[in-house]
């Protein structure tokens, strides 16, 4: 089962994928750079996956409540495994690791890294047959939630190594020989990294300059280039490096090929040019890595030439799910802080938690934390099911939890006032509780950026949400489709939408009932009804803007935010009902109801903003600023950088 993804199978799938995607996206009116970037990205998409996707159906106006009921839970055996590991990890952190010192010195002590390795934490997701712990995604995220609640730098060390570093892509795509050689190293504490980003290449793989050329004798590749923001790179024993290989002729075009390689960190020719210093997670080893004539054995090619971006996207689908767990841990920590401070701090004769404004902040933090947890555990359980496609759900989870966690921490700092802004070490030095709100704020800010910024997540979701429509209308959308094919496409389009579109107005949601959710049933009904409204809105905007819709990123963003909020409402209700039935989580339904009422108000506002917004005015103002017409607003300031 483990080695079912053979390179030759993936080659065939890729060729089929290329043919299919050539039919969907029309790049004839785009400039060369944009067309190349889009074509590479399209060929990396896994469009052949026919597994169920809750989010994919939601965007098409189909609310599959059966995927949420009952809410998934761990077996007693699986829970015991997680409980036992957490019973080791949490005391170890509390008794041995000083996160403030880690932040101050930018160093995770060697003895701490050794202790983590001794517990097997660098092999949490490595299968047992390769001497790993073989944890499920749920148990892995339980551990990561605990670590992230305490020290962000330590959490990123483990997450970058395990979620996107070598273990995950090797487990998904590696050959038997590659797995046998490298996976056992991680139980011994070997650290891995993932090298994709370059100084001029973020979300545009077509411009990648790192190259891997096959040697004359065909025994190895020669790797040359430079990578930026390679987390764990400076200390990595082994890493996955993305590079361009020999271009491939696809029809009349020469297509760049992005390939993935397993590269040993101590190989001659690898140099750490610079270690980056960040606002938060300051102890992570992240830097600029130079590869100069690095010899990589041919057998270290992962999957096959040209499959690197496909590998990267597949890895990130699951890798992104560590971030929701981290956000859940940090948000739980914030809830604990405001509860204690809200009872202790007295102003104007009563605890600040009793003031109307204080209660408002506390309830916001509580309902946000609950919703973050619901999404985290739902997507974690789904990630452990091979019969589901979670691309959309993972992106929505990453988008929602990272943005909401930032708001939670910001609210916590405001609630703590000056003590929230003051560093924990300073608080401790003068005898106060050293709550690390200031450090948590610095550490959490990166979460909306790494592994796909919030903006990229919205564009990714938009592409996936529109995919069913693009497949139906592809031949009509393309400029150079022969007339006969356009007529056939028109008939196909009319046939499909003659049934689909009316069903988005008149459907079962009008009289649906979700009695099993009791007090929360109305929120499920709202998701059902509103999913059809969302599907209509996506369709209407595609018809209105046609090929120009991809430039309307604010419109797309609002549509994707609506879908994400609907997903969160559904997850939150199902999670609350599950906890209620278990009987050990008082007020779970009340918290969920509170979240849903606020979320519904946000969704209603997003729909209104689709029609009434200031996007055009904002765009014109930005254009004037970029053209230098408003430089008078930059006068009388001390200048950074070269004078213009």
Question: Which residues are catalytically annotated?
Answer: 451
- CA 176 to CA 131: how far, in whole Å? 15
- Sequence-separated (6 or more) residues with CB below 8 Å from residue 546: 477
Retrieve residue 34's tokens.
């944009």
Longest pairwise C-alpha distance within the chain:
83
Given a contact cutoff of 8 angstroms between Cβ atoms, the answer to whether 256 and 282 are in contact is no
- CA 369 to CA 565: how far, in whole Å? 15
Decide: residue 47, CB within 10 A, 0-12 exposed, 13-18 middle, 19+ buried.
Answer: middle
Of all helices (H) and strands (E), which one includes residue 360?
Answer: helix 356-383
Of all helices (H) and strands (E), which one includes residue 194?
Answer: strand 192-195
Given a contact cutoff of 8 angstroms between Cβ atoms, the answer to whether 519 and 589 are in contact is yes
- Sequence-separated (6 or more) residues with CB below 8 Å from residue 241: 195, 210, 223, 227, 260, 261, 263, 291, 296
What are the two backbone dihedrals, phi and then psi, of residue 336, each rounded to the nearest 5 degrees?
A: -65, -40
Of all helices (H) and strands (E), which one includes residue 615?
Answer: helix 615-626
Query: Which residues make beta-bridge pairs with 19?
Result: none
Number of Cβ within a 10 Å radius of residue 301: 23
Given a contact cutoff of 8 angstroms between Cβ atoms, the answer to whether 331 and 405 are in contact is yes
Nearest residue to 406 via CA among 280, 523, 265, 582 = 280
Nearest residue to 90 via CA among 298, 332, 415 = 332
Of all helices (H) and strands (E), which one includes residue 273?
Answer: strand 270-275
- CA 456 to CA 320: how far, in whole Å? 13
Retrieve residue 612's tokens.
């009434």
Our separate counts of H helices and E strands in the chain read 23, 10
- CA 413 to CA 403: how far, in whole Å? 16
What string of H, E and C letters represents the secondary structure of 406-425?
HHHHHHHHHHHCHHHHCCHH
Taking CB atoms within 8 Å and a gap of at least 24, the contacts of 516-522 are 516/69, 516/577, 517/573, 517/574, 517/577, 518/577, 518/589, 519/589, 519/593, 520/573, 520/576, 520/577, 520/589, 520/592, 520/593, 520/596
Q: How far is CA 449 from the centre of its chain?
A: 9
What string of H, E and C letters represents the secondary structure of 548-583?
HHHHCHHHHHHHHHHHHHHHHHHHHHHHHHHHHHHC
Nearest residue to 58 via CA among 414, 464, 382, 438 = 464
- CA 241 to CA 308: how far, in whole Å? 9
- CA 341 to CA 408: how far, in whole Å? 15
């Amino acid at each position: 089962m483990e080695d079912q993804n053979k390179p030759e199978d993936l080659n065939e799938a890729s060729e089929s994928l290329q043919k299919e995607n050539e039919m969907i996206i029309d790049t004839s009116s785009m400039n060369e750079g944009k067309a190349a970037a889009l074509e590479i990205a399209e060929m990396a998409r896994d469009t052949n996956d026919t597994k169920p996707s809750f989010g994919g159906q939601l965007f098409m106006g189909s609310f599959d409540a059966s995927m949420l009921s009952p809410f998934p839970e761990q077996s007693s055996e699986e829970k015991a495994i997680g409980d036992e590991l957490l019973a080791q990890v949490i005391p170890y952190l509390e008794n041995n690791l000083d996160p403030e010192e880690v932040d101050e010195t930018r160093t995770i002590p060697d003895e701490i890294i050794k202790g983590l390795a001794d517990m097997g934490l660098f092999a949490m997701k490595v299968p047992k047959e390769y001497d790993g712990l073989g944890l499920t995604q749920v148990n892995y995220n339980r551990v990561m939630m605990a670590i992230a609640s305490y020290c962000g730098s330590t959490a990123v060390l483990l997450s970058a190594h395990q979620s996107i570093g070598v273990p995950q892509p090797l487990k998904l795509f590696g050959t038997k020989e590659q797995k046998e050689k490298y996976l056992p190293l991680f139980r011994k504490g070997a650290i891995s990294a993932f090298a994709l980003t370059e100084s001029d290449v973020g979300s545009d793989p077509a411009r990648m300059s790192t190259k891997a050329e096959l040697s004359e004798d065909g025994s190895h590749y020669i790797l040359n280039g430079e990578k930026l923001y390679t987390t764990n790179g400076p200390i990595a024993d082994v890493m996955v490096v993305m590079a361009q290989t020999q271009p491939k002729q696809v029809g009349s075009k020469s297509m760049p090929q992005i390939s993935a390689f397993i590269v040993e960190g101590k190989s001659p020719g690898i140099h750490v040019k610079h270690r980056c210093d960040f606002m938060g997670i300051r102890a992570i080893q992240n830097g600029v890595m130079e590869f100069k004539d690095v010899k990589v054995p041919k057998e270290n090619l992962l999957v096959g030439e040209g499959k690197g971006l496909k590998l990267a996207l597949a890895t990130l689908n699951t890798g992104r799910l560590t971030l929701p767990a981290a956000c859940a841990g940090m948000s739980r920590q914030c809830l604990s802080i405001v509860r204690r401070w809200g009872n202790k701090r007295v102003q104007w004769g009563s605890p600040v938690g009793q003031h109307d404004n204080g209660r408002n902040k506390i309830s916001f933090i509580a309902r946000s934390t609950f919703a973050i947890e619901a999404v985290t555990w739902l997507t974690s359980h789904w990630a452990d099911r091979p019969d589901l496609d979670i691309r959309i759900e993972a992106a929505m989870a990453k988008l929602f939890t990272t943005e909401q966690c930032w708001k939670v921490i910001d609210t916590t700092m405001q609630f703590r006032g000056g003590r929230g802004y003051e560093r924990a070490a300073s608080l401790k030095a003068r005898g106060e509780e050293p709550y690390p709100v200031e450090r948590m704020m610095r550490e959490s800010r990166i979460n909306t950026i790494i592994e796909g910024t919030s903006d990229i997540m919205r564009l990714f979701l938009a592409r996936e949400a529109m995919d069913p429509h693009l497949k139906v209308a592809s031949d009509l959308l393309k400029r150079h489709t022969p007339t006969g094919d356009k007529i056939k496409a028109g008939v196909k389009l009319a046939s499909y939408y003659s049934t689909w579109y009316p069903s988005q107005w008149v459907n079962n949601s009008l009289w649906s009932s979700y009695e099993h959710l009791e007090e929360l049933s109305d929120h499920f009904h709202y998701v059902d009804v509103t999913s059809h409204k969302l599907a209509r809105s996506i369709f209407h905007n595609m018809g209105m803007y046609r090929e120009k819709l991809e430039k309307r990123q604010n419109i797309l963003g609002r549509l994707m935010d609506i879908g994400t909020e609907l997903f969160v409402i559904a997850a939150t209700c199902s999670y609350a009902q599950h906890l209620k039935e278990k009987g050990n989580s008082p007020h779970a339904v009340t918290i969920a109801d509170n979240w849903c009422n606020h979320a519904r108000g946000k969704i209603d506002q997003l729909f209104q903003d689709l029609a009434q917004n200031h996007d055009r005015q904002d765009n014109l103002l930005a254009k004037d600023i970029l053209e230098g017409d408003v430089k008078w607003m930059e006068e009388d300031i001390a200048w950074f950088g070269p004078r213009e």
